[in-house]
């Protein structure tokens, strides 16, 4: 049976599985809590509180008025047990799919699909599951106890009432263990974030192979210090790419041989209440259901945590406690590099010697088909791209936090129970498996910023824009910088600070980021924060929906004199630089800007088809557009093909203005599609919705084609505001608490998320 048939012809709940009920004893269900002769799942009692006895006491679970699970316990293991119940009940299928991705077992358990095999190969290459199992054995005692309690909650819930989809595809999950939580935590940093560092470097290799020179690369990547000799470049041009980022079917041009998320913190000196405030808006894919995040309220004695969780991880990525608020964005810390390896007779060169690879063989089981054997060749640097079946040059991928995880879970557990920003910063700095920026505010009035992750120490003069020479140990990583080197800032003098993936090297005395993202959004955030000294929840709500473009602000002076005084030229001349829904001028600007990109890097560079592929088929350009904009800002460039900037810009502007332009909002419509059912069950989807903003606005918005021909987006998946003058926080979620399409909580938050209508979450509701 194929996936569509499986999900459309079956509707019964999967039979109860046989997991042992060693941890909880459920109180007899209250009247009305029995359905079809079985107890309802813990949180399907929409208007009643449920008491659950544990080995150490009792917990209670209910929903608040927004549908958010509220868990009250006497200690943290019991609270985490309740969290496991809540996550498995409301997001069981979501967390199980994520676990299968992390384990590299999609093909084994889901109906046959070549995309699953490709995904499994990638996860096996990273060896996420293998390293997670090792790290699970290294957990500190307290962290292990709490993670095991969480997993017992998940397993008990799946035993009592697993997701209906399990039965539809004949799936019986293995019991959850702490290794599963670590694996999901690792891929949250790797997938579509850290791995983009590998993608852009692979594109750079392809560019060199097609004739782009180091001098041309340095105009794009301004932190590039490499000055390779011709012998190195000859080897790089011969690199075998079994999985090129741009497919070989896309035509490359011959080159002349000359070739996301945001948060901010505000001190009480700049707020109306005199207390610190924090805002967060992690920007990921919002064109999906269920919501990426799950909000849960935990109470342990007098301590509360209003947390925003990734289902499958018992730690809140964003949150608010009695003492502390925090939010995360991607840091762009250098954590991935390629090494260039010379291979002969299946061995790699080290100095004058040829050393055999360590071969890791993985069997990828495929449902209803023959298994696939995958071999991964590893050396002192990392894992080889492809198999060394022929002599030549290959890329070898090095990941700094590949063998990290246990320490991160322990330190993060201590972080969110901290009472001050400074205490929290010390713990977050040691979270070596997560390359993130953390914004913090506490009840005492402190604000702070801390970067986490493990940054490698690279040889002098080689930042990793180009692959490091693997045959020369002088170019090996020299260990890792200590957590004290990670950028941090406590109580900045100006009384505010924000991050949006920008360059933060100035906050450390070592080089941490080689390819940060544009500072357009961070600059706009700082401007808005500086405008007032009486910020309030309402003013911060408006900030989170701000769609004025700093990117357009610096671009327009470069093209304004090239614009005619009529038609689209006049529209663009008169534009207020706001990406409003009804703005035709915003669409005209987009047409012109992308014509600039295609002209400079395509027509005068690697080929228009290549640039079009990168723009249309991934998020890569949207993450790194600031690097390419370095060329647009230059008066003279090797990318201008011997012409002046005005000559090149004039060609692009004319073509861009000639294109049809609709109101911007009309071009930003997408459907929020159910991750499991997709178009098979249209009623389970929501929309179309409008993705507001653009790459350079505070409320970021991007739309692109994702793997499997799925439409992906960058936009705020949750907006979160914490005012430390009270115990409340405010949020709007792109989705709802539940993954069940028939639940009233499935899309209950979408309307508010679209309209900027925040819900208030109040711990007093316990």
Query: In this structure, what CATH number is given to the domain that contains residue 119?
Result: 1.10.439.10
Domain count, the chain: 3
- Whole-number Å distance between alpha carbons of 543 and 699: 8
Domain co-membership, 218 together with 84? no
Is residue 152, in this structure, part of any structural domain at all? yes
- What is the per-residue pLDDT for 30? 45
Same domain, 75 and 220: no
Same domain as 641, residue 570? yes
Under DSSP, is residue 42 helix (H, G, I), strand (E, B) or coil?
Answer: helix
Q: Among 371, 399, 427, which residue terminates a domain?
A: 399
By percentage, how much of the chain surpasses pLDDT 70?
A: 91
Assigned domain for 499 exists = no
Mean pLDDT of all residues in 95-118: 91
pLDDT digits (tens, 9 = 90+) for 640-659: 999 999 999 999 999 999 99
Q: Is the pLDDT of residue 112 over 90?
A: no
700-756 pLDDT, tens digit per residue, is 999 987 766 778 888 999 999 999 999 999 999 999 999 999 999 999 999 999 999
Q: What is the per-residue pLDDT for 38? A: 27
Q: What is the CATH number of the domain that holds 225?
A: 2.30.120.10
Q: Model confidence at 766, in pLDDT bands (50, 70, 90)?
A: low
Q: What are residue 724's phi and psi, to 5 degrees? A: -75, 0
Looking at the structure, tell me whether residues 180 and 42 fall in a common domain: yes
For the chain, how far is it from start to end, CA to CA, in angstroms? 46
Whether 172 and 237 share a structural domain:
no
Of 72, 87, 96, 94, which Cα lies nearest the Cα of 153?
Answer: 87
The reported pLDDT for the residue numbered 247 is 57
Residue 378 has pLDDT above 80, yes or no: yes
Q: Is 233 in the same domain as 364?
A: yes
Rg of the Cα trace of the chain? 26
| φ and ψ of 39, to 5 deg | -70, 140
- Is residue 119 classed as helix, strand or coil in its secondary structure? helix
Q: Report d(CA 601, CA 578) in Å as an integer.
A: 27
Q: Considering the domain boundaries, does residue 492 fall inside one?
A: no
The answer to the question of residue 7 being in a domain is yes
Counts for the chain of helices (H) and strands (E), in that order: 22, 33
Residues 162, 30 within the same domain: yes
Q: How far apart are CA 421 and CA 429, in angstroms?
A: 12
Q: Is 590 helix (H, G, I), strand (E, B) or coil?
A: helix
Q: How many CB atoms lie within 10 A of CB 185?
A: 28
Question: Any idea what the Cα angle at residue 41 is, between residues 35 and 46, rounded to 5°?
Answer: 85
In a domain, 53, yes or no: yes
Positive or negative torsion for Cα 702, 705, 706, 710? positive
Per-residue DSSP letter, 296: E
- For residues 379-391, average pLDDT: 96
Characterize the bridge pairing of strands 38-39 and 34-35.
antiparallel
Q: Are residues 234 and 117 in the same domain?
A: no
Check residue 708 and give its pLDDT. 63
The model's confidence at residue 25, banded by pLDDT at 50, 70 and 90, is very low
Sequence-distant (≥ 6) Cβ neighbours of residue 236 within 8 angstroms? 205, 208, 209, 228, 340, 393, 466, 467
Spell out where 24-131 has E strands: 25-26, 34-35, 38-39, 50-53, 58-63, 69-73
Rounded distance between C-alpha atoms, residue 571 and residue 659, angstroms: 13
d(CA 387, CA 383): 10
Fill in the DSSP letter of residue 676: T
Rounded to whole angstroms, the Cα distance separating 595 from 608 reads: 10
Percentages helix, strand, coil for the chain (3-state, rounded to 5) are 40, 20, 40
* Cis before 726? omega within 30: no
Is the domain of 181 the same as that of 198?
A: no
Q: Domain boundary at 190, 221, 241, which?
A: 190
Residue range(s) defining the domain that contains residue 629: 550-662
pLDDT in tens, 143-198: 999 999 999 999 999 998 999 888 888 889 999 999 999 999 998 888 767 888 99
Across the range 608-631, mean pLDDT stands at 90
DSSP 302-357: TEEEEEEE-TT-SSEEEEEESSEEEEEEE-----EEEEEEEEETTEEEETTEEEEP
* In contact, 613 and 246? CB cutoff 8 Å: yes
Give residue 34's pLDDT: 32
Evaluate whether residue 367 is within a structural domain: yes
Indicate if 50 and 199 belong to the same structural domain: no
**Do 130 and 251 share a domain, yes or no?**
no
- Sequence-distant (6+) residues with CB within 8 A of 676 are 7, 93, 97, 165
Q: Torsion angle, CA of 576/577/583/587, rounded to 10 degrees?
A: 140
Domain boundary among 171, 190, 209: 190
pLDDT digits (tens, 9 = 90+) for 217-256: 999 999 999 999 999 999 999 998 887 776 555 544 443 3
Q: What is the pLDDT of residues 508-551, one digit of tens each?
A: 999 999 999 999 999 999 999 999 999 999 999 999 999 999 99
pLDDT digits (tens, 9 = 90+) for 477-516: 999 999 999 999 999 999 999 999 999 999 999 999 999 9
Please give the pLDDT value at position 46: 53
DSSP 8-state class, residue 497: E
Per-residue pLDDT at 502 = 95
491 CB burial (10 A radius; 0-12, 13-18, 19+)? middle
Q: Are residues 147 and 252 in the same domain?
A: no
Rounded CA gap, 200 and 245, in Å? 8
Assigned domain for 133 exists: yes
What's the pLDDT at 748? 97
| Residue 266 within a domain | no
76-to-37, 97, 304, 460 alpha-carbon distances in Å: 33, 27, 11, 46
Least confident segment among 356-365, 435-444, 613-622 = 613-622
Q: Among the residues of 380-506, which ranges form H helices?
A: 406-415, 421-429
pLDDT given for residue 2 in this prediction: 39
């Amino acid at each position: 049976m194929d996936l569509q048939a499986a999900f459309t012809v079956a509707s019964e709940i999967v039979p109860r599985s046989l997991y042992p009920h060693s941890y909880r004893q459920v109180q007899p269900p209250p009247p009305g809590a029995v359905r079809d002769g079985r107890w309802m799942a813990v949180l399907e009692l929409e208007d009643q509180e449920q008491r659950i006895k544990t080995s150490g006491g009792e917990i209670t679970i209910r929903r608040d008025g927004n549908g958010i699970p509220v868990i009250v316990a006497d200690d943290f293991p019991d609270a985490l047990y309740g969290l496991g119940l809540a996550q498995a009940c409301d997001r069981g299928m979501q967390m199980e799919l994520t676990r299968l991705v992390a384990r590299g077992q999609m093909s084994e358990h889901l109906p046959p699909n070549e995309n699953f095999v490709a995904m499994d190969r990638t996860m096996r290459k990273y060896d996420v599951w293998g390293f997670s199992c090792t790290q699970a054995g290294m957990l500190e005692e307290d962290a292990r106890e709490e993670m095991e309690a969480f997993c017992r909650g998940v397993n008990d819930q799946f035993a009592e009432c697993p997701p209906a989809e399990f039965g539809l595809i004949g799936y019986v999950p293995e019991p959850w263990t702490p290794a599963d939580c670590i694996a999901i935590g690792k891929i949250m940093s790797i997938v579509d974030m850290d791995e983009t560092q590998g993608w852009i470097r692979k594109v750079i290799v392809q560019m060199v192979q097609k004739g782009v020179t180091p001098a041309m690369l340095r105009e794009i990547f301004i932190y590039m210090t490499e000055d390779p000799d011709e012998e190195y470049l000859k080897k790089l041009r011969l690199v075998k790419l079994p999985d090129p980022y741009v497919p070989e079917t896309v035509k490359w041009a011959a080159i002349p041989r000359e070739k996301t998320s945001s948060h901010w913190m505000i001190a009480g000196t700049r707020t109306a209440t005199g207390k610190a405030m924090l805002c967060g808006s992690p920007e990921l894919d919002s064109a999906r259901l269920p919501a990426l995040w799950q909000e849960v309220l935990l109470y342990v004695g007098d301590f509360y945590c209003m947390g925003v969780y990734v289902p499958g991880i018992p730690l809140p990525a964003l949150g608010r406690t009695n003492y502390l608020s925090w939010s995360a964005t991607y840091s762009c810390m250098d954590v991935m590099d390629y090494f260039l390896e010379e291979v002969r007779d299946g061995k790699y060169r080290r100095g004058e010697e040829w050393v055999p690879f360590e071969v890791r063989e993985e069997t990828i089981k495929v449902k209803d088909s023959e298994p696939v054997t995958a071999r991964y060749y590893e050396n002192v640097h990392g894992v080889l791209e492809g198999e060394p079946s022929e002599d030549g040059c290959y890329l070898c991928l090095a990941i700094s936090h590949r063998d990290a995880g246990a320490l991160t879970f322990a330190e993060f557990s201590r972080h969110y129970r901290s009472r001050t920003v400074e205490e929290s910063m010390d713990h977050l700095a040691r979270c070596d498996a997560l390359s993130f920026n953390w914004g913090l505010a506490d009840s005492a009035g402190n604000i702070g910023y801390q970067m986490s992750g493990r940054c490698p120490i690279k040889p002098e003069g080689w930042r990793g824009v180009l692959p490091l020479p693997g045959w020369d140990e002088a170019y090996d990583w020299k260990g890792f910088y200590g957590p004290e080197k990670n950028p941090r800032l406590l109580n900045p003098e100006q009384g505010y600070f924000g991050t949006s993936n920008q360059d933060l090297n100035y906050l450390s005395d070592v080089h941490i980021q080689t390819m940060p993202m544009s500072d357009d959004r961070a600059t706009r955030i700082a401007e808005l924060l500086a405008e007032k000294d009486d910020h309030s929840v309402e003013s911060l709500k408006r900030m989170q929906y701000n769609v004025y473009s700093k990117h357009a602000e610096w671009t327009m002076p470069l093209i304004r004199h090239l614009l005619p005084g009529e038609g689209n030229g006049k529209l663009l001349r008169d534009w207020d630089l706001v990406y409003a829904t009804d703005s035709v001028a915003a669409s005209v600007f987009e047409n012109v800007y992308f014509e600039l990109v295609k002209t400079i890097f395509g027509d005068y560079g690697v080929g228009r088809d290549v640039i079009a592929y990168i723009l249309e088929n991934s998020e890569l350009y949207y993450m790194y557009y600031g690097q390419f904009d370095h060329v647009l800002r230059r008066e003279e460039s090797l990318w201008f093909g011997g012409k002046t900037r005005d000559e090149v810009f004039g060609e692009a502007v004319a073509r861009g203005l000639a294109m049809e332009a609709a109101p911007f909002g009309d071009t930003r419509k997408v459907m929020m599609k159910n991750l499991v059912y997709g178009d098979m069950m249209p009623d389970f989807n929501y929309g179309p919705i409008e993705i507001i903003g653009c790459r350079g606005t505070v409320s970021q918005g991007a739309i692109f084609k994702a793997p499997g021909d799925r439409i992906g987006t960058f936009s705020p998946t949750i907006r979160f505001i914490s005012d430390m003058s009270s115990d409340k926080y405010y949020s709007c979620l792109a989705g709802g608490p539940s993954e069940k399409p028939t639940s009233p909580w499935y899309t209950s938050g979408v309307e508010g998320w679209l309209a900027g209508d925040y819900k208030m979450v109040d711990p007093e509701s316990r």
